[in-house]
Amino acid sequence: MKFVVVTGISSGIGLYLSKFLINQGFQVIGTHRDRDVPNGLPNTVNGLIQLYMDLANEHSIELAAIQIQKIVGYKGLYALINNAGQAIPGPLTEVPMEKIKYQFQVNVFGNLLLIQKLMPLLQKNGPGSRIINMSSVSGLFASPFLGSYAASKFALEGLSDSLRRELNLLGIAVVVIEPGPIRTAIWSKHLGVSEDYKGGLFDQYLLKATDIIQQMEENAMPLEVLNQPILDALLSTKPKTRYLIHKNKFLFLLLAKILPDKWADYLVNRNLKSNNNKLRPV
């Protein structure tokens, strides 16, 4: 049985992947930061080994790595899925720096420290081990009012590229998953952003952005769209370096990669200024 660590299992993608991978025959070690839950998560999953870990706390990461080492023993660790993350919305000129630093600590620095601490276990498993970093379409296209989140995901993308080229030399694969909007509670957490920055420079546009977030939540993809990319990333002898998961890959890539920056800026800004509530990329 192969050991897989999945971070951020308390809800959403992490909880779903834990259940899915257990059903696929993996032994899943899941981490969460719900210290106040005395007997494990409310959504306890049979066969899931749960550990407390806070990516914002280096000591917590070190302790979790020690526990993981004791669990996997001589077998080593087959895969690490860095899923845990935070999305802090708001205008970059107004979001407090402490929140932006926290965003990077959780989405970038904490992930890298965990990779460093678990590298001996990945090496012990031997060639074929892999690291899967959960990025986002925000790591390819930076939307207004999601700047700190996008910046952290762009950083994770660059980190993953360098790490992949290094670990290729050791036979360890590094893969990035780039999902678009997926049906989880993360969207509803953002709906109060216009109130958080009320009276600032962007009042009317934040209200429009909130409307768009509501539409994105309604049109989000089901969690099941992760199944095949995750399985391929875990089991393929030659996994892709990136798996983009989006309802309309062509239109998204047109906006993110092909159109000149100023054209994309125009489309995004027109969307925010429009009274039309039709869903468009932001």
- Count CB neighbours of 280 within 10 A: 16
144 vs 11: CA distance, rounded Å = 26
For the CA atoms of 267, 273, 276, 282, the dihedral, rounded to the nearest 10 degrees, stands at: 50
Residue corresponding to tokens 């989880």: 184
How is residue 153 written in tokens? 């995901």
Q: Work out the burial of residue 92: count CB atoms within 10 Å of its CB; fewer than 13 is exposed, 13-18 middle, 19 or more buried.
A: middle
- Please identify which residue in the block is written with the tokens 């399985």: 231
Among 16, 78, 149, 197, the one annotated catalytic: 149
30 burial via Cβ count (<10 Å: 0-12, 13-18, 19+)? buried
User: Which residues have CB under 8 Å from 161's CB, separation 6+?
Assistant: none
Cα separation, 49 vs 67, in Å, equals: 11
Is residue 149 among the annotated active site residues? yes
Catalytic positions: 149
